[in-house]
Amino acid sequence: QRISVSNLLAQVKQRFQLQAERQQLEFTVYEPDDEGTYIVGNRDMVNRILDNLISNAMKYTPAQGHITVCTRILRERIVVTVTDDGIGIPEADLPRVFERFYRVDKGRSRKLGGTGLGLALAREMVERLGGSIAMTSEPDRGTQVKVTFVRALEVQGEA
């Protein structure tokens, strides 16, 4: 299955626009110039991966914060980055956030609710699609998650 990147991003924008407004977050989806670019994968899975990351960004970023989704097209890969300027993650917890049921606790995630499965599932799905996921974060500054997908090669004879 091939998924159009511009299509995917347009839908992502639509799905989260309202929530962003309600939480008074500035949500920006940068669409790549390159129109006819495709990801190899299952659309449901790719949507679920992005939804998990963007929901986290919105959950862990206070009002007036900023969330951006950027896409970089490489020769064989497509890298989508979700960046927020929210509460961030302490260095000691960062290596563990992809574990099932792991939640950073400073009283913070307790009141926000959740099971601690979102990132574990996102990583499983990304890896099943042949990609990878990486996170960097700094407390009180924000978090960046980078997901890499496999790019569909141009089909010969197709415009």
Asked if 136 interacts with ligand ATP (CB under 6 A), we say no
The minimum distance between CB 151 and ligand ATP, in angstroms, equals 25
Stretch that binds Mg ion, among 1-9, 99-107, 110-118, 141-149 (CB under 5 A): 110-118
Q: How many CB atoms lie within 10 A of CB 83?
A: 18
Q: In sequence order, which residues have a C-beta less than 8 Å from that of residue 111 and are 6 or more positions away?
A: none
Q: In sequence order, which residues have a C-beta less than 8 Å from that of residue 73 and are 6 or more positions away?
A: 5, 32, 34, 37, 151
Do the Cβ atoms of 80 and 149 come closer than 8 Å?
A: yes
The minimum distance between CB 63 and ligand ATP, in angstroms, equals 15
Per the structure block, which two tokens stand in for 100? 């099932």
The minimum distance between CB 114 and Mg ion, in angstroms, equals 5
List residues near ligand ATP by CB under 6 A: 52, 56-57, 59-60, 84, 86-89, 97, 102-104, 109, 114-120, 143
List residues near Mg ion by CB under 5 A: 56, 118
